[in-house]
Chains A and B, each alone.
Chain A
Amino acid sequence: MRASFSAEMMKLRRRPSLWILLVVWFLLSLAFGYLIPYALYRTTPAGMTGPLRDQLLASIVPGGWLGNVVSGFPLFGAAMMLIVGALVVGSEYGWSTMGTVLTQRPGRLQVLGGKLAALAVFSVAFELVVFVPGALASSVVGGALDAPADWPGAAEVVEVFAAGFLILFTWAVLGALLAVLFRGTSLPIGLGLVWLLVIEGVIAGFAGSLQALDTVRQGLPGSNGGSLAAHYTLEGLAETPGVSTVTGPAHAVVVLAVWGIGAMALSALRLRRRDVT
């Protein structure tokens, strides 16, 4: 699998569309995580009460760094990684490179393993481009506003980073699974985004009125990603899209892991048996 991983990384590093996604993700995170909240805080818009203003401040200073950053993962980050997963696998069909790759030495499962490993590395990179600038932004804002520099401990940083990784990587492998199933990029991306942005939202909308849907919701990747992020996000800022407490963090971790492992297993099963034409 090392050869496949190495080849995959060579492709990823030079793929313009992935760099564009990374830059867009970085800009979105900075804009919605820091610039807009900071502007809101400074301008104190009409209707914004005192406690809410305090919570806004708390999210953009060092003490709120981790929650602020990870709150962007369940919706924006998930959507981005779904696209990345679909691109990394689906493009091989679109460019007819799947045949090229599979007629070299590695077997099909090694090729898939290399792709998933590369997606894992990319997920880490995806986290770093928001966690590191987030920390810098928190530091700058905290300094400018004379906020206390109560940075989270190393263990907490690792925990939130791991939780973020689980959310992002699960959606990346879901994108990869859809690409294997539909042998392309457009349909997997379209269907995946519809699921993430529309279907899960509709289910959440009706879950309050229908018990069965509420049960279903507790097993969905979007809801559980949102619940996991909510666990680290400051209370009162739960209006962040995609962040809401539907389940507990342990439940969310298990459900996301099941979705991720299930998607990897299904991808392997499908790729191993399917004709490549």
Chain B
Amino acid sequence: MTDTLVLETEHLTKRYGPHLVAVADLGLRVRRGEVYGFLGPNGAGKTTTLRMLLGLIAPTSGQARILGAAPGSPEGLANIGALVEGFGFYPYLSGRRNLQVVARYAGVPAARVEAVLDQVGLAARGGDAYKGYSLGMKQRLGVAAALLKDPALLILDEPTNGLDPEGMAHMRALVRQLGQGERSVLLSSHLLGEVEQICDRVGVIQKGRLVVEGTVAELRGQAGLFVRAHPVARAREILAAVDGVGAIDEVAGVLRLTADPGLAPEVNRRLVEAGVAVSELRPAERSLEEVFLQLTHDGTGV
């Protein structure tokens, strides 16, 4: 991952009428080579944002640059692969023929069709009519179409929607693989586990506004340990002398240590040896789900 930006928006806004603001003042930055998770609950404005980035929807105000070009311009689109809210295909054509049509529009050699069908595991079913495809196959064909241009930026909107657990695992592995190297991936999702496993950085959108952006670790907050011990004053005294333990805060009788969670056995040993009763010892790291729920439900920051 480099600091070169492949996607940048400034004050990007989309209004529908005087009262509905779908996206408000959005500032999004995706770097070259990173997998960026674009998180938000349903209706938060993710798909509207992606459609603006692809030039399908005109913003009411604000600006966006993708790969140095304006959204929707042929120069930019030449290096962008996208799967937004599923992918429209022609029902009377086979999967392979659909990709050939898309390849012609994109101006890429027909030979790429077989390569991407193979990449998403559809080579054997490529000749089947699209209308007979399962939802999972349709999603995979959509990803295949997005890969046709071997794009520098891949925009995927809920790529695991409708997939069974096996399909989801396959898709996650595929996205992780696609995000390696110089390619950037903008992954929109409301599935936190997916984003947590795959993404380098995450932006959370709520009611059209970007409420937080950072690495998964930054969003979770500083690593630490929660310790419930008695007597708490004695425990605090002992823990202050343990190497690797930083700040110690006390909330409602529970100590929160700034420390590597891997230090837990050592913390436990020292307290027990000192005759302090330890009733609880757990990592203080919040899951991304906790962060997300906090952000999207009560609107507070991290």
Contacts and interface: CB of A to CB of B under 8 A. Distances in A.
A212 interface: no
A100 B87 contact: yes
Interface residues of B, number: 33
B105 A4 contact: yes
A105 B20 CA distance: 31
Interface in A53-101: 92, 95-101
Given A16-B92, A103-B82, A105-B106, A11 B101 contact: yes
Contacts of B87: 96, 100
Contacts of B86: 96
Given A95-B90, A102-B56, A105-B77, A277 B106 contact: no
Interface string B69-108: 0001110011010101111111111000100111011110
A197 interface: no
A44 interface: no
A234 interface: no
A92, A104, A273: which has the most chain B beta carbons within 10 Å? A104
A10 B93 CA distance: 10
A276 interface: yes
A98 B100 CA distance: 16
A117 interface: no
Nearest to A91: B90
A233 to B, nearest CB: 37
Nearest to B94: A14
Contacts of A99: 51, 54, 56, 84-85, 88
A43 B147 CA distance: 66
Interface string A1-23: 00110110011001110000000
A107 interface: yes
B57 interface: yes
Max count, chain A CB within 10 A of own CB: residue among B73, B104, B106, B145: B104
Given A16-B92, A97-B90, A276 B57 contact: yes
B135 interface: no
A94 to B, nearest CB: 9
A7 B104 contact: yes
A103 B93 contact: no
Given A96-B86, A105-B78, A277-B51, A15 B92 contact: yes
Nearest to B58: A275
Contacts of B55: 102-103
B51 A3 contact: no
A106 interface: yes
Contacts of B51: 99, 275-277
Interface string A139-176: 00000000000000000000000000000000000000
Given A7-B104, A10-B101, A14-B97, A103 B77 contact: yes
A15 to B, nearest CB: 6
A276 B48 CA distance: 10
Contacts of B105: 3-4, 7, 101, 104-106, 111
Given A10-B101, A276-B56, A98 B92 contact: no
Contacts of A277: 51, 56-57
A100 B102 contact: yes
Contacts of B107: 3, 104-106
Nearest to B146: A103
Nearest to A111: B105
Task: Kindly name the residue among A95, A102, A105 whose own CB sees the greatest number of chain B CB atoms within 10 A.
Answer: A105
Contacts of B84: 99, 103
Interface string B53-69: 01111100000000000
A275 B102 contact: no
21 contacts: A7-B105, A10-B100, A10-B104, A95-B91, A96-B87, A99-B85, A100-B89, A103-B77, A103-B80, A103-B84, A104-B77, A104-B102, A104-B106, A104-B107, A105-B74, A105-B78, A105-B105, A105-B106, A106-B74, A108-B72, A277-B57
Interface of B: 51, 54-58, 72-74, 77-78, 80, 82, 84-93, 97, 100-102, 104-107, 145, 149
Interface of A: 3-4, 6-7, 10-11, 14-16, 92, 95-108, 111, 273, 275-277
Given A14-B92, A100-B89, A100-B102, 13 more contacts: A3-B107, A6-B104, A14-B97, A92-B88, A95-B89, A95-B91, A99-B85, A104-B77, A104-B105, A105-B106, A105-B149, A107-B72, A277-B51
